[in-house]
Structure 1
Amino acid sequence: MNNKKYSVTVAGGGSTFTPGIVLMLLENMDRFPIRSIKFYDNDAKRQETVAKACEIYLKENAPEIEFAYTTDPETAFTDIDFVLAHIRVGKYAMREKDEKIPLKYGVLGQETCGPGGIAYGMRSIGGVIEILDYMEQYSPDAWMLNYSNPAAIVAEATRRLRPDSKILNICDMPIDLEEKMAHMCGLKSRKEMQVGYYGLNHFGWWHKIHDKDGNDLMPQIKEHVAVNGFADALSDTNQHVDASWRETFTKVKDVYAVDPSTIPNTYLKYYLYPDYVVEHSNKEYTRANEVIDGREKHVFGICNDIIEKGTSKGVEGFEADAHATYIVDLACALAENTNERFLLIVENEGAIENFDRTAMVEIPCIVGRNGYEKICQGAIPQFQKGLMEQQVSVEKLTVEAWIEGNYNKLWQAITLSKTVPSARVAKLILDDLIEANKEYWPELH
């Protein structure tokens, strides 16, 4: 390990996840020493609340770290080594529309899946590209670790529009699920497992899982998943404990039953059981409302408490996002050349041998100072291949629609989604989404 200290910019400084990221960085200073943390957000008021609370915490616990928050790109992105990007263009008010507009037409409303995910992607592309351009302008040697959703659409957009940029697109959901699987096997951490995985983001399957000694863990995990999905590994300390998440983790048993040779990602329930999801959705109170009334109020309440008291001492609930340590793991791999394995969203180029070479697939990769090397997953079964070909076409058409301002391609994208029953319904949803997203989408023609 070298003696360098790193400078990090958190893009999305006003996010409710930002305090947990900061505290997680502090907990890992022994292996990833920090000299500077900067927040960047285009919503100054929202960011200020989070930033002032974090500033107080940093002064009390790590006064040697320089801290700043800003809405100025030059200030935010000058002299940095890493950008941690988790932006939400339109915030939760637009997420609520993403979820409720499709439900009007009997189609599931979800943050990253179906028409809602497409709408969110159309907002996210410009924001992520803008941040990437700022980084390259002011700190051309920096890396951007992007976990802004919907990661699949964003990754396809960066492949098309910024193919040579130093960006890694990542997702925390497989990390969370691997921790649950490790728990099922009595292991301390997912890092004690080696996995084979293929798919698209929020659309994938584990096909091999071994422990460090090479023992096959799939049979043991399958026993749990067949009965209770991932609910076996839930506890009150898990990040996702809302009723909607508990139901999602349990529903995996039905997704698993469709192909018991693999272990599925939770999000596949939206594509394989969309009718079930709609039947169990409250059109008036969706996941966005849960977050607004839950996490939003909780985190901002804690931040305001710290600001009012002028100290973080004695304030409960200000804690590290423990499972987000994968972000530090990834930064360390790039900075310290650790050659650790990660699931990344990368251009296929034959890693899945019987699938579109230009698709942005989620597969294991080895990461070091010079970037990543893909680990080939071989040929995949016809069932998964068919589903993935349909979904990757949705993602590619969405990005093409954004680049070209093409109405028909976005209509095609929504029509192709396995969550949508017909082109007629797709058009009704699209026209409502266009009206709702006037401030955020490019003009379509």
Structure 2
Amino acid sequence: MAEKKRFVVAIAGGASRYTPGILKMLVSEKDRFPLSKVVLYDNEDVRQKRMGKYARVLMSEYYPECEVVDTLDPEEAFTGIDFCFMQIRAGRQEMRRSDEHIALKHGCIGQETCGAGGFAYGMRSIPAVVEIIKNVKKYSPDAFVLNYSNPAAIVAEATKRIFPNDKHVINICDMPVGIMNQYADELGVPRNSIEARYFGLNHFGWFTAVLDKETGHDYLPELKKIFSKPLPDDHFTDMDPSWRETFVFMRKMVSECADYLPNTYLQYYLYPKHMLAGEDPEWTRADQVMAGHEKQVYEMVDEVCETGKIMGTKYGFTEEDLKDDDHATYIVDLACALAFNTHERFLMMVPNEGIIPNLTQGMMVEVPCMVGSNGPEPLNVGEIPAFQKGLLENQYAYEKLTVDANLNGSYIDAWHALTLNRLVNDTDTAKALLDDLIEANKEYWPELK
């Protein structure tokens, strides 16, 4: 029997706080998705060197057959690769914090992918993502780019235009995976035993069915009942407090959503007054992340680099630990589907070409797709109700105008985009927000005229 192909993977955004989790996931999946090399690519020298050293320690102990390279040079990073996993954050947490504080100054939610924060982040992300994809295509034309950089809906709309009909550019998001994992836990079934039927835009959609893969049984009515009951006080206590609040509030959303199960991000769009009331202008989500998870990750990275080992320390992995990162494994699930033509189903962002007939054609909808070596093949959804259609058309108009503003350097398109955003929804506020965001983002945005 021929030896299984060993892949070369580049991680764009290699210095990210998520990289240790991605590396751990690659170790856990080495039998299913074997690697010969992993390349960390970033544009920040100091952080990249720290993460590169950490990666070499990790792989030398847990995956010695996998070479590790870290580089700031796109030619070195992307030559001869099979996959690029893209997780960049243009402007890092510091600019996320700026977005949040500017939005709150104007009485609006500044969340990272929603509202004015999502707009500002999208305007930063488009040029950065496009540049990386162009470099991948230059040095490895047949490589798959698996992009899960936020705000995914805006980025997907931009990549659709710049790389039309390109089956090698894949836009995905882990949030539906996280929600489905929560459903499985509530049902008491294995996480990989269920699959979704879903429609919407990224971070803006509804589950229409939650199916047992083997029997076809639809758990949606059972989940509606589960989520109609009050939560015990000790439920979700091991979660990050912000995410605990999200999953607690999901019960209210489910109980008030007549037919479907809403994506958790709909809390911002359907209950903006409630969400704004819970914001602290002095301590936003970016502040929490920088003082919490980000700080912890880099402290761990530095400690490993200093000691030169992971095994036998508090950061070491057991076999059980390696199997316990479902949230990241979906990336390898998708890579395997593309590499080995498995025709598994995933929720992905694809152009609406008759998938949802009563929505704008070409809209980058998030729907179930069968995935093989030729990329995603979306499943038909059919027409959707007027309520969801109205929300989605408005949201898409905002996303489309955001991309128009970025690609055309148009101030009026940017102003109109923010005016349409459900978390702004006022022309004067949109203009004041835009002017402040332009000033804060001079280093990242194209000039708007």
TM-score by length of 1: 0.96
User: Which residue in 2 is equivalent to 1:265?
Assistant: 263
SS in 2 for 1:311: coil
Q: What CA deviation, in whole Å up to 9, does each residue of 1:417-441 have, x standing for no partner?
A: 1111410011111111000000000
After the TM superposition, which residues 13-412 of structure 1 pair with which residues of structure 2 at under 5 Å, given as runs?
13-165=14-166, 166-189=168-191, 191-211=192-212, 212-228=214-230, 234=236, 236=238, 241-317=239-315, 321-412=325-416
Cα distance in 2, alignment partners of residues 259 and 232 from structure 1: 25
Contact 1:19–1:54 under 8 Å retained in 2: yes
Q: Deviations over 1:307-347 (max 9, x none)?
A: 11111123324666442100000000000011000000110
In structure 2, distance between residues paired with 1:97 and 1:229: 35
1:277/1:302 CA distance change after superposition, 3 Å: same
- Deviation digits for residues 213-243 of structure 1 (CA, Å, limit 9, x no counterpart): 122211111112233589997363xxxx221
Structure 2 CA distance, aligned partners of 1:437 and 1:286? 19
Q: What displacement does 1:115 show?
A: 0.8
8 Å CA contact retained: 1:197, 1:364: yes
CA contact (8 A) 1:145 1:168 kept: yes
Q: Provide, for residues 146-195 of structure 1, a one-character-per-residue CA deviation record: whole Å limited to 9, x for no partner.
A: 00000000000001111143111000000000011011111011x21132
| Higher deviation after alignment, 316-325 or 225-234 | 225-234
Following superposition, the deviation at residue 256 of structure 1 comes to: 2.4
Contact 2:9 2:35 in 1 (8 A): yes
Percent same amino acid among aligned pairs? 49
> Aligned partners of 1:31, 1:221: CA distance in 2, in Å?
32
| d(CA) in 2 for partners of 1:317, 1:271 | 39
Cα distance in 1 for residues equivalent to 2:233 and 2:114? 22
**SS of match in other structure, 1:64:** coil
Q: Judging changes above 3 Å, is the alpha-carbon distance between structure 1 residues 318 and 138 closer, same or farther for their aligned structure 2 residues?
A: farther
1:259 aligned partner, one-letter code: C
Deviations 1:270-298 (Å, cap 9, x if unpaired)?
01111111111000100001100011111
Q: Post-superposition shift, 1:354?
A: 1.1
- Which residue pairs with 1:423 in the alignment? 427
Do 1:249 and 1:266's aligned partners in 2 also have CA atoms closer than 8 Å? yes
* Cα shift readout 1:27-71 (whole Å, capped 9, x = no counterpart): 111111100000000011111111111111111221111110000
What is the CA–CA distance in structure 2 between the aligned matches of 1:192 and 1:121, rounded to whole Å? 34
Q: Which stretches in structure 1 are left out of the alignment for 5+ residues?
A: none
Q: TM-score, normalised by structure 2?
A: 0.95
Rounded Cα–Cα distance in structure 2 between residues aligned with 1:329 and 1:164 = 23
The one-letter code sitting in structure 1 at the alignment partner of 2:262 is P
1: CA distance, partners of 2:9 / 2:347? 22
Distance 1:73 1:184 in 2: 44
- The verdict on how the C-alpha distance between 1:391 and 1:144 changes in structure 2, with shifts beyond 3 A counting, is same
Equivalent position SS for 2:229: helix
Unaligned runs of 5+ in 2: none
User: How many Å apart are 1:262 and its aligned residue?
Assistant: 0.4
Cα distance per residue 1:54-89 (max 9 Å; x no partner): 111111221111110000000000010000000000
Distance in 2 between the 1:386 and 1:315 partners?
54
Q: Residue type of the partner of 1:341?
A: R
Query: In the TM superposition, what is the alpha-carbon distance from 1:252 to its structure 2 partner?
Result: 1.6
Decide whether aligned partners of structure 1 residues 231 and 344 sit closer, same or farther in structure 2, where only a CA change above 3 A counts.
Answer: farther
SS where residue 110 of structure 1 aligns? coil
**For the Cα contact (< 8 Å) 1:339–1:367, is it kept in 2?**
yes
Q: How many pairs were matched up? A: 440
Q: CA RMSD of the aligned region, Å?
A: 1.6
Paired residues of 1:180 and 1:233 also in contact (CA < 8 A): no
DSSP 3-state at the match of 2:227 = helix
* Equivalent-residue separation in structure 1 for 2:83 and 2:398 (angstroms): 31
How far off is 1:2 after superposition? Answer: 6.7
